[in-house]
Amino acid sequence: MPPARSIAVPFAVACLGIATFTAMDAFMKGLSIAIGAYNATLWRTMAGTLLGGVLFFGAGHKLPVLSTLRLHFLRGGIVAGMAVLWFWGLARVPMAEAIALSFYAPLMAIYLASIFLGERVRQQALLGSLLALAGVALMVAARARLGAGDTSLLGAIAILCSAFLYAFNLMLMRKQAQLASPVEVGFFQNLTTGLFLLLAAPFYAVVPDASHAPAILASAGLALVSLILLSWAYARAEAQSLVSVEYTGFGWGALFGWLVYGEAVGWPVLAGTTLIVAGCLIAVRAPRKPEEVRLEAAL
């Protein structure tokens, strides 16, 4: 009987993908404040399409078959709405708090993985996610009790709506990663998302000032790297084993929010992060073999 595949490496790669994505959020928060969420998302996606195209065609990849292309467009449509809602809310809510509000998405993704991907929901994955969520709840409760943050209600609602779309995005990410290479996923997500965003260009698009070019290119590069890393990880592990990785984004959000925007980080962040890491370790632990369970029962 072949040994169970370890998910330690996919988990570590997914963690790096989340860290890279959160660094992109720090750039996009400033861009969304300066030029608006739609234009920040549009021009970042256009730059990402160019960068991804260079990688995709430069490596000699072939165009995907029609069924895979339909999946790319489906995810691109979801990501377009998800991204605009997210960055619009992020411009109005502190980074750490915004990420905390989005953390119900991975919990939903566990059940969606069962419905759409046929994955069996393991008890340890559910317990790990709940423990991680307890860490998030601790930090959010402490922030609310101290009255920290000038949160906009509309911004919070936009983030919650974005997180709902993100739960579906996680499911499509797993299916897409099984059909396409990481470079293909990165290129076509930028391309399809950009095409959907261009539908509103006649009404909202504005060419940004040249001073915003470095931030746009940096955010596009970080987003592309994150997509490639996450696609690689999701192709090698079940979605429910990786969704708890999303919780590590809170720690990165708190760090970048403090470094870039002067948002304070207190002891609740450290305590909450401890719970999050513990929950992740529980969720990704490989299930025990039946013979190990029988031996333990015999003892």
Q: Taking the complete model, does pTM exceed 0.85, yes or no?
A: no
Pairwise CA distance, residues 256 & 96, whole Å:
9
pLDDT at 44: 96
SS3 per residue for 56-75: HHHCCCCCCCHHHHHHHHHH
pLDDT at 190: 94
Range from 31-35, 40-44, 184-188, 271-275 carrying the lowest mean pLDDT: 271-275
Q: Are 155 and 94 in contact (CB under 8 A)?
A: no
Distances (CA, A) of 193 to 1, 92, 299: 43, 23, 56
When pLDDT is averaged across residues 276-282 and rounded to a whole number, the result is 74
Residues 177-210 have pLDDT tens digits of 788 888 898 899 999 999 999 999 999 999 999 9
**Per-residue pLDDT for 33 more than 70?**
yes
Pairwise CA distance, residues 121 & 186, whole Å:
28
Residues in the chain, overall count: 299
**Per-residue pLDDT for 13 more than 80?**
yes
Pairwise CA distance, residues 86 & 31, whole Å:
13
Q: CA dihedral defined by 51, 56, 60, 65, rounded to 10 degrees?
A: -150
Pairwise CA distance, residues 221 & 20, whole Å:
10
Which among 103-107, 141-145, 180-184, 192-196 has the top mean pLDDT? 192-196
**Per-residue pLDDT for 45 more than 80?**
yes
Mean pLDDT computed over every residue of the chain:
82
pLDDT at 223: 92
Range from 92-101, 158-167, 241-250 carrying the lowest mean pLDDT: 241-250
Range from 46-60, 142-156, 236-250 carrying the lowest mean pLDDT: 142-156
Q: CA dihedral defined by 128, 20, 70, 88, rounded to 10 degrees?
A: 90
pLDDT at 117: 67
Q: What would you measure as the largest C-alpha separation in the chain, in angstroms?
A: 71
* 60 CB-near residues (< 8 Å, 6+ apart): none
pLDDT band, very low/low/confident/very high, at 5 (cuts 50, 70, 90): low
Range from 27-31, 168-172, 227-231, 232-236 carrying the lowest mean pLDDT: 168-172
